C-alpha cells in the first residue's frame, strides 16, 4: 500500500491552494455535502473542472482540521444521510485572502501572457 497515496498527494499538492479556494467559495452560499460541492464546481466551471473524490475528501478534511469549515451529519432533500460542510468565520477570512492572491496571480500571469510582452524566455510545451 505504500506507494499509491504518494501519487495522489502529488496531484493534491498541485491543486492544493486552488482547490481549497474553490471549495470554500462553494460553501459561501450555504452548507453543502461533498458530492454537492464537486457537482457545483463541475457545473460552474462548465464541466471544465472535475474534482476527483480522492482529492475532494482529503481537502475537506484538511480544511476542517484548519478550522475553516465545520461538518455535521444531516438529511438531504431526498432524505439521504450526508455529511454537510459549513464555512466558518476563519474560513471566510481565508477565502477572501485566497481570492485576492488569486486575482493578483491571474493579473500577473495575464500581463506576462498578453501580446505586448511577446518575448517569453520559457520554452513552450507541445
Partner 1 sequence: MKFWPSWERRKDDLREEIESHLRMAVEARVSRGESPDEARAAALREMGNPPLVADVTRAQWGWMWLERIAQDLRYSVRQLVRTPGYTATALITLTLAIGANTAIFSLLYAIMLRSLPVSQPDRIVQFELQIGPPDKNRKPSSNVSGKIYDVLAAAKPASLSGLCAWSKFPPLNLHDENGTRPAQTAQLTGDCFQTLGLHAALGRLFTEADDKPGGGPEGYPVVLSYDRWRSRYGGDPGVLGRVLDFQGKKGVIIGVLQPGFESVVVGDTPAMYLPSEVGEPTERHGFGSYNRILLGRMTDGATLAQVQAQADPILQAALKAEKFTYYMFSEGKMTKANSSHLMVLPGRTGMSYLRMAYAQPLYLIEGMVGLSLLVACAYLAMLSGTRALARRRELAVRVALGASRGRLTAQLCCESLLLSAAGMALGLLFAWTASRGLVSLLDRPGSDPLTVNTAPTGMVLVFALAVTGLAVLLSGVIPAWRASRVDPAHEIKEGALTHAGRRSRSAGSWLAPLQVGLSLVIVTIAALMATTLVRLLSINPGFSTSGITFTRADFFTNAKPATSGQPKPDAAKTKDEDTRRPASLYLALLDRIRSAPGVESASLTQMEQFSGMLSMRNISSTLPSGEKRVQDSIMSLTVAPDYFRTMGIPMIQGHDFTANDKEDAPQVCILTKSAAEYFFPGKNALGQMINLGDESDPKARVIGVVGDTLFLSFRDEQRPAIYTPFLASRQNQYLSFAVRSRSAVTGEAAVRNAFKQIAPDVPLYETVTVGQLVGSAVGRERMVVLLSGFFALLTLALSAIGMYGLLNASVLRRRREIGVRMALGASQAGVIRLVLREALWLVVPGLVLGAAGAWGATRFVRSLLYGVKPLDPWVLAASAAVLLVTAALACLLPARRAASVHPMEALRAE
Residues lying near partner 1 in the complex (CB under 8 A): 1-6, 8-9, 12, 33-36, 39, 52-54, 57-58, 60-62, 65, 76, 78, 80-83
Q: How far is the CB of 93 from partner 1 (least distance, A)?
A: 21
Of 20 and 95, the one with the shorter C-beta distance to partner 1 is: 20
Helix axes 34-44, 4-27, angle to 10 degrees: 80
Of 79 and 120, the one with the shorter C-beta distance to partner 1 is: 79
For Cα atoms 63, 64, 70, give the angle at the middle one, nearest 5 degrees. Answer: 125
Q: How far is the CB of 83 from partner 1 (least distance, A)?
A: 5
Q: How far is the CB of 96 from partner 1 (least distance, A)?
A: 23
User: Among residues 44, 91, 37, 46, which one has the least CA distance to residue 64?
Assistant: 91
Of 78 and 114, the one with the shorter C-beta distance to partner 1 is: 78
Distance CA 101, CA 18 (A): 10
Distance CA 76, CA 78 (A): 5
Of 4 and 123, the one with the shorter C-beta distance to partner 1 is: 4
Amino acid at each position: 500500500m505504500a506507494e499509491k497515496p504518494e501519487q495522489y498527494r502529488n496531484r493534491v499538492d498541485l491543486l492544493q491552494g486552488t482547490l481549497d479556494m474553490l471549495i470554500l467559495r462553494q460553501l459561501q452560499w450555504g452548507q453543502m455535502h461533498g458530492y454537492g460541492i464537486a457537482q457545483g464546481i463541475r457545473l460552474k466551471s462548465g464541466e471544465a473542472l472535475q474534482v476527483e473524490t480522492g482529492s475532494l475528501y482529503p481537502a475537506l478534511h484538511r480544511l476542517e482540521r484548519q478550522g475553516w469549515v465545520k461538518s455535521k451529519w444531516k438529511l438531504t432533500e431526498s432524505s439521504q444521510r450526508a455529511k454537510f460542510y459549513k464555512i466558518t468565520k476563519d474560513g471566510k477570512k481565508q477565502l477572501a485572502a485566497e481570492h485576492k492572491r488569486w486575482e493578483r496571480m491571474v493579473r500577473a500571469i495575464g500581463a506576462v501572457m498578453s501580446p505586448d510582452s511577446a518575448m517569453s524566455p520559457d520554452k513552450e510545451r507541445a
